[in-house]
């Protein structure tokens, strides 16, 4: 016998609906559910104002199902949603809440799919129609009686529907329904256009407002990272190493960026897909399904392509590119922390985007904490922790299944068990860097984009032209306590920043933080090193070779 959730039981829902809600595992109604369900059950028209992720679907689906007569095989409830994805989501939710209602059928009506099966389902007596306005109008133009038996109407995400230009279609649909009906409208915002519709088509609606902009954000831990635009992919790769995520959605601004980031992450072994406006509808649905059933863990999407994407597994929203306005930021991060679950939102900010960050903080009423790029030690620790977590469960019985084989291999090879275990580890980790020195060598050159430094400084100069053999004329101001050093090795010697960095870290015994900016030119390179103990360090590096050539690092003085 399943426990009936206490909060829900008091709301007056039909027992069959209640049983289904409890089977889904909901424990308490959300605030909008608590307020809207009794109002809708009582037969009032209603305007509900609430943000994404507040549980609006169940707020209207459960009372409407409680009032539908499943023995009458005709359309009784019409739900209008702005997009195909949302329509499908709402239809699925209705089916879930109607699990214990034999004879109740739901049909989703949307564009991009053949009309035939949709019509057939309506004719067969589906009681609930969930539709996008455009396609529903197409149906009406063939048969204007489709909606003649509707008793309940829901406009879900009404503001989105108007933004998508469905105003005229809505008027056609209103005309095709009996005036005697109950109408409910949900919207995150109530601009004049929505008030207009409500004034014209709703009857003395009760107004419910969940002022939970901040509440929605509260369940979400937010942080930002300053980074240069051209280092975003490197920064994301490193962040993902230390972030403990189940599923993650990354937002970028362009189609190309979805592809670039997705392929960079795929190359690092993540199960990732890109989602953008060019991707065919059915492919998009497949991506969302894959994210749900864990065949994918990361989706890189544009705002448009991610509209209505609701996957409870999403623990992280990563804003790789800033949204265009604070509202879209709130909308984006609403993909995580669904219905009160903990979520984490990360935001990459380039130096010139500081102001946008401030307005996001104003709108959400929260200060967003700054985080730093994880250093090599943190990356290493995270990798070892993952390795530990993947091996620990095997230890319990691996000896009984593979112990004899181990003994035999040790004997055949003639090595110690430790040597064999190490060999197996090397094989299992497949070339991954698992020592501090190795991880440090992977790190990109500029650790953090703190301060107002302009990025063209680097990008215009570091692409060395052939005449670029003299030091930059206005070098970057040095950080206090650092000295600039020079080597005669440069790109023509096959040197990249990571080689230089690796050599200094290894031979000099410095930590990554101790090393500042590195500039590689054609015929020389500059690197910032700690002033303190510099002479000793240079002596230590006296015989260091990089790419087969003597490094000969010297203190460099501008004159
Ligand atoms: P909205 O339409 O307001 O954006 P949804 O109706 O899509 O929100 O619900 C968001 C998520 O919260 C869904 O995954 C849904 O299953 C879940 N949910 C809704 N109500 C509850 C509840 N009372 N308890 C737990 N989870 C809920
Ligand atoms: Mg919704």
Residues 163 and 271 in one domain: no
Q: In CATH, what number is assigned to the domain containing residue 130?
A: 3.40.50.300
Task: Decide whether any atom of ligand 1 lies within 6 Å of the 215 Cβ.
Answer: no
DSSP state of 546: E
Q: Give CA–CA dist 177/153, Å, rounded.
A: 9
Task: Decide whether any atom of ligand 1 lies within 6 Å of the 335 Cβ.
Answer: no
- Mean pLDDT (whole number) for 498-511: 82
Atom of ligand 1 nearest to the CA of 157: 2
Tell me, yes or no, whether 215 lies in a domain. no
Atom of ligand 1 nearest to the CA of 29: 23
Tell me, yes or no, whether 550 lies in a domain. yes
Q: What is the pLDDT of residue 338?
A: 63
**159-164 long-range CB contacts below 8 Å, 24 or more apart?**
159/187, 159/188, 159/189, 159/190, 159/191, 159/194, 160/82, 160/83, 160/307, 161/80, 161/81, 161/82, 161/133, 162/191, 162/193, 162/194, 163/82, 164/82, 164/83
Q: Give CA–CA dist 10/119, Å, rounded.
A: 38
Beta partners for residue 487, in sequence order: 525
Residue that is last in its domain, among 161, 187, 209: 209
Tell me, yes or no, whether 450 lies in a domain. no
Tell me, yes or no, whether 278 lies in a domain. yes
Q: What is the pLDDT of residue 259?
A: 94
Task: Determine the number of helices (DSSP H) and then strands (DSSP E) in the chain.
Answer: 22, 20
Residue that is last in its domain, among 209, 231, 255: 209
Contact 195, 96 (CB under 8 A): no
20: helix, coil or strand?
A: helix
> Which residues does 382 contact at the CB level (< 8 Å), separation at least 6?
241, 242, 374
Q: Give CA–CA dist 192/198, Å, rounded.
A: 10
Atom of ligand 1 nearest to the CA of 156: 2
Residues 195 and 253 in one domain: no
**Gap from CA of 489 to ligand 2 centroid (Å):** 59
Task: Decide whether any atom of ligand 1 lies within 6 Å of the 88 Cβ.
Answer: no
Residues 34 and 171 in one domain: yes
What percentage of residues in the chain have a pLDDT greater than 70? 89
Q: Give CA–CA dist 247/316, Å, rounded.
A: 7
The ligand with the least distance to the CA atom of 60 is 1
Residues 404 and 351 in one domain: no
Tell me, yes or no, whether 285 lies in a domain. yes
Residue-wise pLDDT tens digits, 68-125: 999 999 999 999 999 998 999 999 999 999 999 999 999 999 998 899 999 999 989 9
Full DSSP string of 291-342: HHTTS-SEEEE-TTTTTT---TTEEEEEESS--SSHHHHHHHHTTSSGGG--
pLDDT at residue 225 tops 90:
yes
Domain holding 129, by residue range, is 7-209
Residue that is last in its domain, among 209, 243, 269: 209
Q: Looking at ligand 1, which residue's alpha carbon is closest to its atom 12?
A: 339
Residues 32 and 108 in one domain: yes
Q: What is the pLDDT of residue 540?
A: 87
Task: Decide whether any atom of ligand 1 lies within 6 Å of the 338 Cβ.
Answer: yes
Tell me, yes or no, whether 449 lies in a domain. no
Of 172-181, 353-362, 466-475, least confident by mean pLDDT is 466-475
Q: What is the pLDDT of residue 340?
A: 55
Tell me, yes or no, whether 1 lies in a domain. no
> Which residues does 178 contact at the CB level (< 8 Å), separation at least 6?
148, 149, 150, 151
Q: What is the chain's length?
A: 559
Residues 488 and 416 in one domain: no
Residues 347 and 414 in one domain: no
Mean pLDDT (the chain) is: 86
Residue-wise pLDDT tens digits, 338-365: 655 678 999 999 988 888 888 888 878 8
Question: How many domains are there within the chain?
Answer: 4
- Mean pLDDT (whole number) for 448-455: 41
557: helix, coil or strand?
A: coil
pLDDT at residue 461 tops 50:
no
- Mean pLDDT (whole number) for 469-497: 70
The ligand with the least distance to the CA atom of 334 is 1
Residue-wise pLDDT tens digits, 233-287: 999 999 999 999 999 999 998 888 999 999 999 988 899 999 988 888 888 889 9
Residues 438 and 478 in one domain: no
Residues at Cβ < 5 Å from ligand 2 ion: 56
Question: Buried b / exposed e across 131-165, counting CB within 10 Å, b at 16+?
Answer: bbbbbbbebbeeeeebbeebbbbbbbbbbbbbebe
Residues 31 and 96 in one domain: yes
Residues 463 and 517 in one domain: yes
- Mean pLDDT (whole number) for 483-505: 84
Three-class DSSP labels, 361-379: HHHHCCCCEECCCCCHHHH
**Gap from CA of 107 to ligand 1 centroid (Å):** 21
Tell me, yes or no, whether 505 lies in a domain. yes
Provide φ and ψ at 126, rounded to 5°: -60, 130
Residues 295 and 403 in one domain: no
Q: In CATH, what number is assigned to the domain containing residue 531?
A: 3.30.70.330
Residues 199 and 235 in one domain: no
The ligand with the least distance to the CA atom of 343 is 1
Q: Give CA–CA dist 483/528, Å, rounded.
A: 6
| 54, 56, 57, 288, best to mutate for ligand 1 pocket (most atoms within 8 Å of CB) | 57
- Ranked by mean pLDDT, which of 148-157, 437-446, 451-460, 526-535 comes out on top? 148-157
């Amino acid at each position: 016998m399943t426990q009936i959730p206490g909060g829900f039981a008091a709301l007056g829902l039909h027992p069959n609906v209640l049983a289904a809600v409890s089977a889904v595992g909901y424990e308490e109604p959300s605030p909008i559910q608590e307020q809207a369900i009794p109002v809708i059950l009582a037969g009032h028209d209603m305007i509900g104002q609430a943000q994404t992720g507040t549980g609006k679907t169940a707020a209207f689906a459960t009372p409407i199902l409680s009032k539908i007569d499943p023995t009458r095989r005709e359309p009784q409830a019409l739900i209008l949603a702005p997009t195909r994805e949302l329509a499908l989501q709402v239809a699925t939710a209705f089916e879930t809440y109607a699990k214990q209602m034999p004879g109740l059928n739901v049909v989703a009506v949307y564009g991009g799919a053949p009309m035939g099966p949709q019509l057939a389902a309506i004719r067969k007596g589906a009681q609930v129609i969930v539709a996008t306005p455009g396609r529903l109008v197409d149906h009406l133009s063939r048969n204007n009686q489709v909606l003649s038996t509707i008793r309940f109407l829901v406009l879900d995400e009404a503001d989105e529907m108007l933004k998508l230009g469905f105003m005229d279609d809505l008027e056609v649909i209103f005309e095709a329904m009996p005036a005697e009906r109950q109408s409910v409208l949900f919207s995150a915002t109530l601009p004049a256009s929505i008030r207009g519709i409500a004034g014209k088509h709703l009857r003395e609606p009760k107004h419910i407002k969940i002022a939970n902009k901040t509440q929605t954000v509260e369940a979400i831990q937010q942080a930002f990272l300053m980074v240069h635009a051209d280092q975003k992919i490197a920064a994301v790769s490193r962040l993902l190493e230390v972030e403990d995520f189940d599923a993650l959605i990354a937002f970028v601004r362009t189609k190309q960026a979805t592809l670039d980031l997705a392929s960079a992450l795929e190359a690092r072994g993540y199960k990732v897909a890109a989602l953008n406006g060019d991707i065919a509808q059915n492919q998009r649905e497949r991506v969302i399904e894959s994210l749900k059933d864990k065949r994918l863990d990361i989706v890189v999407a544009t705002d448009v392509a991610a509209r209505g994407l609701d996957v409870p597994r999403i623990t992280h929203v990563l804003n790789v590119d800033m949204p265009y306005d604070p509202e879209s930021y709130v909308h984006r991060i609403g993909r995580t922390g669904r219905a009160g679950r903990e979520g984490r939102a990360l935001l990459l900010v380039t130096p010139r985007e500081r102001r946008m960050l401030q307005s996001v903080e104003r709108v959400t009423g929260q200060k967003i904490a700054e985080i730093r790029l994880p250093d090599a030690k943190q990356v290493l620790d995270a990798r070892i922790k993952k390795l530990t977590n993947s091996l620990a469960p095997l230890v319990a019985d691996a000896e009984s299944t593979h112990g004899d084989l181990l003994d035999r291999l040790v004997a055949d090879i003639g090595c110690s068990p430790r040597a064999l275990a190490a060999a197996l580890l090397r094989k299992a980790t497949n070339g991954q860097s698992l020592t501090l020195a190795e991880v440090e060598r992977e790190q990109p050159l500029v650790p953090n984009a703190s301060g107002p430094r302009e990025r063209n400084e680097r990008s215009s100069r570091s692409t060395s032209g052939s005449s670029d053999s003299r030091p930059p004329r206005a070098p970057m101001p040095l950080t206090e306590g650092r000295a600039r050093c020079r080597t005669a090795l440069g790109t023509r010697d096959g040197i990249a920043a990571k080689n230089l960095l690796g050599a200094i870290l290894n031979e000099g015994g410095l930590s990554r933080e101790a090393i500042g900016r590195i500039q590689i030119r054609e015929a020389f390179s500059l690197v910032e090193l700690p002033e303190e103990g510099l002479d000793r360090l240079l002596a230590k590096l006296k015989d260091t070779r990089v790419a087969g050539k003597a490094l000969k690092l010297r203190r460099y003085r501008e004159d």
